[in-house]
Amino acid sequence: MSDTPVDASKRTWLIASSCAGAVGAGFVAVPFVSSFQPSEKAKAAGAAVEVDISALKPGEKMTVEWRGKPVWILKRTPEQVASLKKTDSQVADPESDRKTYPTPEYAKNEYRSIKPELWVGVGICTHLGCSPSDKFQPGPQPSLPEDWQGGFLCPCHGSTFDVAGRVFKNKPAPDNLEVPPHMYLSDNRLLIGEDKNTKA
């Protein structure tokens, strides 16, 4: 140990400059660390979307945006609901068992929905991301089979889907249209992005 006396002014200067450096580092670190937090725009984009479906009539479809994706809400007619039995043998994954785009348990049925008359699905083809067109009119039409029951046709590569978003066999699309998490808040209010079991 040295016998040299410590200069009190140097000690004060060292302590003060150390404190100033720590405060400065804090001011620099706070914006840096907070930049890792999602922006308000990003939070809003991932938030659940509440939709009023009271004006939706049988045979009509509405589109809302959730997480930057078009989500279709289709109120099927009794004829469209009945057509699903006719397409069961023609679609590649009738019960939505494939794991590529996991389907919520409540949509793993012939209707792919909670309520048979209402279907909620993401309007993006599972092949290369095009948006399929509505082809609800049954019967022969260009690019569609003679026994067409109604559904969706992807204009990019010809994939076809029934009114439950189930892809027909031997088409480029590898899977059914995605069903997002959703739940009914009432008969006329739908929440897309959340269900009773998960918060997406």
Q: Which residue has the higher pLDDT, 21 or 54?
A: 54
149-168 pLDDT, tens digit per residue, is 999 999 999 899 999 999 99
Mean pLDDT of 26-51: 63
> 69 pLDDT exceeds 60?
yes
Strand spans (E) along the chain = 49-52, 61-66, 69-75, 118-122, 133-135, 151-153, 160-162, 182-184, 189-192
199 pLDDT band (50/70/90 cuts)? very low
pTM of the shown model? 0.74
Average pLDDT, the chain: 85
Asked whether 164 and 177 are in contact (CB, 8 A), the reply is: no
The 10s digit of each residue's pLDDT in 92-120 is 998 888 777 788 999 999 899 999 999 99
